[in-house]
Amino acid sequence: MNTAGRIVRLAERDRAEVQFVLDGLMRSALAGDTVLTAMLASGHALRRSEFGPEPRAGFCLMGACQDCWIWQEEGPRLRACSTPVTEGMRLCTTAPENWP
């Protein structure tokens, strides 16, 4: 996602910063952010649409639609919209079977 499409945080900027890894790159977020918020605020789309080249940013944002599954490097998947980001999390936007 380019800077023009990046989410800009307007409030609550005084929370502690946490570091996490997304697709091999170090990213930062604020404590209390969901994984999805952390991804979008750092300029990364949730995933690419399966129907075209457009980036996806989640759908229902409340854990009901199953659109925001991502994977931890250890293998288990999680819902990005309802899981809080934690220090040192290592996440991937593609399924383990597609990892190099």
User: What are the structural domain ranges in the chain?
Assistant: 3-7+14-98
Q: Is the torsion defined by CA of 86, 92, 95, 99 positive or negative?
A: negative
Contacts of 4 (CB under 8 A, 6+ apart): none
| The predicted structure's pLDDT at residue 75 | 78
pTM of the prediction?
A: 0.80
pLDDT in tens, 39-82: 888 887 777 666 777 777 777 777 788 888 899 998 789 999 99
> Token match 């991937």: residue?
92
Is the predicted pLDDT of residue 3 greater than 70, yes or no?
no
Taking the CB of residue 79, how many other CB atoms lie within 10 A of it?
A: 19
Closest CA to 29 of 75, 87, 74: 87
What pLDDT score does 25 carry?
A: 93
Domain 3-7+14-98 in CATH 3.10.20.440: yes
